[in-house]
Amino acid sequence: MTKEEIIIAYGSNASMMTKALLKRIDIEKLLPDKQATIALKPNLVVAVTADSGATTHPEIVVAIIEHLQGLGYKNLSIVESAWVGDSTKEGFRVNGYNQISKHYKVPLVDVKDDEYVKKTVDGITMEVSRTILETDFLISLPVLKGHCQTAMTCALKNMKGVLSDRSKRLFHTLGLNRPIAALNKVRAADLVIVDSLNGDLDFEEGGNPVETNRMFACRDSVLCDSFGASLMGFETKDIPYIELAQQLGVGSADLSQAVMVQLNEPSDELPSRPSGRATYLGRFTEPDSACSACYGNLIHALKRLDEVNRLKDVKQQICIGQGYKGKSDPSKVGVGICTRGLGKSLPGCPPKAIDMIRFIKELE
């Protein structure tokens, strides 16, 4: 796998999707040797389960452990810390990591209990987990989801879990964007496998999960977040830490140079009934057998339009889904290749949320 590649898998079986990604990545070529220490860094910001849209599906962690141990790699660990005021150990317990650790003989490292090493980048001094700094290979397993302060969180911000609580507080005092970029200059993930199955619409604690049934892998955390931003309907400039990390040489945000590798077509499985804020946004849609990836992107696009008070300009419902295949109706508009017979249609399978936003704005 090259640093320019973004490998995408669709479906609802996190374990099978992870194994398919690992097979295509050919991870053995990225690892130094069988004695290498390998750290898995999930997102367990709060002690809630993955169906909330806040935390990494543990099936992903299990699939990676099984794959690596099957290849002969034994020096694995799971490393994480919850945000300030919450318990990492409770997050491990709620999500079944204690059983995972015992069954696979993989230790759990609570960064809150770890030793720290002080590092300074761009004038920002931070306390970073010694375990993370000394590991030979770091696999980050972020959830692509909304965030109340930085708009979104994915690979770059997931690294905040390797800090001491004191440094986490400092990051918030400094406004998050510069510190997040600086942290990734100290230590960025060697491989990122993104849980984009049902990330929360706009809040890191979960509560408004949006089913997209997608996972993707990258070696460049900056490119990863640039792609993730586009899936959620953001321009790269909307997420300042992406550009700041690029300026520090962490990676490239240029999606035009990315090599997209799609392992399969989006699943035919229909999304579950939306809840919370997604229910309101769904009123602007006219779905007919829409797959999760496409419909989830549309919900993210509508959320971005709502944030700038542009939903009032959406005069007709946006058609979406396989039920529109072969249908011709010049009076309707739709997104996705299945709606190409309608009066106006945005191609793609699925189109990204950022492209949906541009399309909907042009309808006004």
Would you place residue 269 in the very low, low, confident or very high pLDDT band (cuts 50, 70, 90)? low
Closest CA to 75 of 2, 138, 142: 138
Q: Please give the pLDDT value at position 276.
A: 64
In sequence order, which residues have a C-beta less than 8 Å from that of residue 287 and are 6 or more positions away?
A: 295, 319, 320, 321, 323
Peptide bond into 58 cis (omega under 30): no
Q: Please give the pLDDT value at position 270.
A: 56
Report whether CATH 3.40.50.300 matches the domain 5-262: no
Residue 221 has pLDDT above 70, yes or no: yes
Section 158-176 average pLDDT: 93
The number of angstroms, rounded, from the C-alpha of 218 to the middle of its chain's C-alpha atoms is 11
Average per-residue pLDDT in the chain? Answer: 92
Q: Please give the pLDDT value at position 338.
A: 93
Section 156-174 average pLDDT: 94
Closest CA to 144 of 250, 218, 33: 218
Q: Please give the pLDDT value at position 203.
A: 61
Q: Please give the pLDDT value at position 275.
A: 54
DSSP for 289-307, please give it.
S--HHHHHHHHHHHHHHHH
The token pair that represents 21 in the structure block: 């990604």
Residue 207 has pLDDT above 80, yes or no: no
Q: Please give the pLDDT value at position 258.
A: 98
The domain spans of the chain are: 5-262, 277-363
Q: Please give the pLDDT value at position 272.
A: 54
Higher pLDDT, 314 or 202: 314
Q: What pTM was estimated for this model as a whole?
A: 0.88
Would you place residue 32 in the very low, low, confident or very high pLDDT band (cuts 50, 70, 90)? confident
What is the amino acid identity at position 49?
A: T
Residue 273 has pLDDT above 70, yes or no: no
Residue 66 has pLDDT above 90, yes or no: yes
Q: Please give the pLDDT value at position 202.
A: 73
Strand partners, 216: 8, 194
Burial class (CB in 10 A: 0-12, 13-18, 19+), 36: middle
